[in-house]
Structure formats: structure tokens, C-alpha cells
Amino acid sequence: MNKQLSKYFPWLSGLIAALVAFFALSYFSLSSWSTIRESIIEEKSQVASRIANHIEQSIAEKSYLAKSLASYVRFNPQINQDAFRDFAKEVYAMAEREVLSVQLVKDSFITYNFPESPNKETEGVNIMELEEDRELVEKAIENKEPMVIGPRVLIQQVQGMVYRVPIFLPDSNSQEENFWGFSSIVMDLEQIVDRTILDSIQEFALWSQNQSMTHKGYFYGDSNSINENSIVETINLPTDTWKFYLSYDQDVAEIDKMKQIVRIIIIIISLLFGFVIFQLHQSYTKVIELNRILKGKNRRISTQLEEKAVLIKEIHHRIKNHFQLISSLNNVLYAHEGNEEVKKVVEDVNQRLTSLAQAYDQISDKEDGKNNLRVYISELVNNLLIGVKPKIDVEMKIDDIELYIKRTVYIGVVINELITNSLKHAFKNQNDRRVRIYIKSKEKHYELVYLDNGSGLPEDIFEKHANSTGVQLIQMFSAQLGGKVKQITKNEMSGFEIQFPMV
């Protein structure tokens, strides 16, 4: 029964994991969306405030120019085209690019324009006949106060606004003032807004709170921007109040779109997480079973390794016994042999056998099969020179090199033969006896140099003494190392140089 239930555990654990992941990710994503929305509203508020302030400031600056023109007319009521052009040119230059024209309205007719050519269609227009503006014009004359017309499409077919200042001149026959006309500044709202608004902002609206009551269409922008997802800024003008709406509907739409995408991603991640847990649960059961099998195999392997170690120790022990047996037989042969030449050969063989046995003792206990060449050669040389008189000055410079047993033994045999050769042939009746052994690691090979200060080597030793046992052994084991041996002389010392590859 338990086994039947256990097969459903992976499915159950995967389902629970998927649900936990879904609710956790959903919770964190909801908090993130709230933060993003607040950030967008804050950013839009800053942009809307900056735009509204710029529009208000720009109109205020331009209204001052209209008042200056009105003052000029009061002092020069007989103003003509040339006088107007000269004064208006200065006013236009001060206003920069946001001004469409500087106008002078005499009675109710637009009499003068600057610049003239782009505004020809406005000259002679009776502003009292402009139905959408008549109520505002009459109110401005009646109250003797400036008027703001706009935002709307002007006669020049440009989205803009007009700031008019009424001009009254004193009547010489009475204390009353007579209406003369208007000084006007016509502004391009598109340029005013474009100087502040970003290209990426498309959803905005600008409308006159007061003038909208007349239903004359004083509006600029996108009417869809006036909704609950809009930032509203107030622009205070001399005789009007404008409202600037900056919508973040597009940003909300983008957020909703991203929400859908993230929701899909969360579902996919949750399903993947559940699937992973399901797989892990299944794998866990398999791993437990495999661990059980592996432990059994490991126990068998450990037993086999122990048996192998015992066998190797037994082999090493037998090899050492064979060395001792051969050495003992040689000693018996040496003791009963009467021929001196045979005894000499037996003595040489026994010496080489002793060297090999000593080398084998040093390296046979290594578990990894590798040996430090510096330690091995040092011990080998010391064993060979025990009891040698007079004492030999030996200098060894050997790099930290690790080699396997086979190559180590080959190098040991070569060193043994070289030292034996020095003792037998090089040092004759000589108290100052020096030997130099250098083994260096090069880029792709090793270099073994052996030198002594003895009587020197005969020329072409490998040809003239090719039958010598020592020479044959040196050549044979150098070849076994895959190297080349040559005869050298250096610093008044003679010897051999062997170069053999690292592998």
C-alpha cells in the first residue's frame, strides 16, 4: 500500500511547488506594479508641472511686450506704418521664435502686422466680426482689461493664442477716455509647447477654463487625454485660467500589456518549477537506489584494491629476495673463482646489481608510482660514494621533477655507470676529485649533464669503446629514455649530456 502511494508523491510535490511559486511570484509582481505606477505618475507630474510653468512664464513675458506697444501708442497716437515697423521689430526680436506676429488694431480693424508677409491674410480683418471672439472683445473694452484668446486655431491656420491689450486715449474735451484699439501679440502655442514637451509625449490637452463656457472651441491637443489617468496643472493668465492635462493612459496600457506578459511568464516559471520538483523527487528515489548499488560496488572494489595492494607488496618482496639471491650467488661465485678476470666481471655485475637493488628499495614504496628525481639521485650517489677515499666533491643541481618508476630506474642506471666510470678510469692518483650532476627541466624536454675533473674522456668514445659494457649501458638506457647522449667538455671538465623528452 505504501509503495502504491509513494508513486504519487512526486506528482503531489510538483503540484504544491508550482502553486507556491505562482502565488509568491504573483505577490511580488503586484507590489512591483504599484511601485512602477507611482513612479510613472511622479515622473508625469514633474513633466506636466514643467510644461505648465513654461507656458505661463512664456505668455507672461509676451504680454509685457503687448503692454509696451500699448504704452508707445498712447504717447504716439498718430503712429504710422514706418513707426510701427520700427518699434514692432524690436518687440519681435525680444520675443524670439514663439511669436507669430506683433499686431496693432485700430478701432476694431487689424491695421498693422509685423512681420508683414506671413500675416497678410489678417490685415484689415474686423475682430468684432469674429463671432467666436466678439464676446471677449466687448468684455475687454467694457472692463478696460487685457484679453486672452485661445488656445485655438488662428487665422494663420496655426494653433496659437492672442494676447490683446486695449488702448484708451484721453478726450481733450472731457475727462473720459476714448477707445483707440488694441496692441496684440500673436503666439504660436505649438512652438511654446514643443520647447518643453518631449517627443514621446503624445497625449496632452490644453483648454481655457473660462472661454470654454462660450463653447467656441478654445482647445488644443487630444480630447482623449482628459480622463482619470491624467495629471492636471493650472496655468494662471491675466484674465483667464487654462488647464493642462498630461495623460498617462499610454503608460497604463503598456503596464497592462506587461502585466499580461509577466503573468504568462509567472505561469510558465511556476509550471517549470513544479516540473523540476517532480523530476527531483523522482530522481531522489533513483539516487537512493543507485547509492545502495554503488556502495555495494565500492565495497567490492575496496576489497579488490586491498587484495591488489597485498599482491603488489608480495611482488616487491619477491623482487627484493631475488636481488638478494642473485647477489648471494655472485658472492659465492666470486669466492670460489680463481680467474681474476672472471672475478672482476662478477664484481662489476654485483656492484651494478647492488645499485639497482638500492634504487628499487627507494622507489618501490611509492603508492602513486612517481618518484622525486632530486631525492632519488641524491640518495643513489651518496650510497655509491660511501667509503670512497679520497673524498669526492659532488655538486648536484636537480630541478623538482617527478617521474614514474621505469624512467627513474633508467636514469639511476645511467648515473651509476657514469660514477663507476669516473671512479675506475678518471680519478687515478688524484686527490682533487670533483663530480657535477645537473638535471634541468626545459620547455619540452629534460637535460642531464654529468661532468668530472678526471683525466678526461678519449675522443670519439662511442666509436672507439663501443664494446665497453659501461658505454653500452649508457647508450642503451639513454635510448630507453627516448633521448640522445653526447660527449662534452665544459670548464676544464669532461663528461656527457643527455637530452630526453618529458613524455
Per-residue pLDDT of the chain (503 residues; tens, 9 = 90+): 455 555 666 666 667 767 776 777 676 666 777 777 788 888 888 888 888 888 888 888 888 888 888 999 998 988 888 888 888 888 888 776 788 888 899 988 998 888 877 777 888 888 888 877 888 888 888 999 998 888 888 887 888 888 999 999 988 777 788 999 999 998 888 887 775 665 555 578 888 876 654 445 577 777 777 888 888 889 888 778 888 888 877 777 777 777 777 777 878 777 777 777 777 777 777 888 788 888 888 888 888 877 776 776 777 667 777 767 777 777 777 776 777 777 777 777 777 677 666 666 666 666 566 788 898 899 888 888 887 888 889 999 999 999 888 888 889 888 988 988 888 888 877 888 999 999 999 988 999 999 999 888 888 888 888 778 788 888 888 899 999 999 899 988 999 999 999 87
Give the pLDDT score at 363.
61
Give the pLDDT score at 8.
61
Give the pLDDT score at 213.
47
Q: How far apart are CA 203 and CA 208, in angstroms?
A: 17
Q: How far apart are CA 83 and CA 187, in angstroms?
A: 22
CA pseudo-torsion sign 5, 10, 11, 14: positive
- Helix (H) or strand (E) holding 231, with range, is strand 230-236
- Which cell goes with 275? 516540473
Does this model's pTM top 0.85? Answer: no
Q: How far apart are CA 323 and CA 335, in angstroms?
A: 18
Nearest to 106 by CA among 86, 142, 81: 81
Chain centroid offset of residue 345 CA: 74
Q: Taking a C-beta distance cutoff of 8 angstroms, is the pair 422, 454 a contact? A: yes
Nearest to 205 by CA among 188, 179, 224, 191: 224
DSSP-derived secondary structure for 444-484 = SEEEEEEEE-SS-PPTTHHHHTTT-HHHHHHHHHHHHTT-E
Which domains occur in the chain, in start order? 7-251 (3.30.450.350), 367-501 (3.30.565.10)
The length of the chain, given as a count of residues:
503
Give the pLDDT score at 1.
44
Nearest to 404 by CA among 364, 442, 441, 440: 364
DSSP-derived secondary structure for 232-245 = EEEEE-SS-EEEEE
Q: Taking a C-beta distance cutoff of 8 angstroms, is the pair 47, 201 a contact? A: yes
CA atoms within 13 A on the CB side of 168: 13
Where would I find the H helices in 145-248? 189-194
Q: How far apart are CA 267 and CA 273, in angstroms?
A: 10
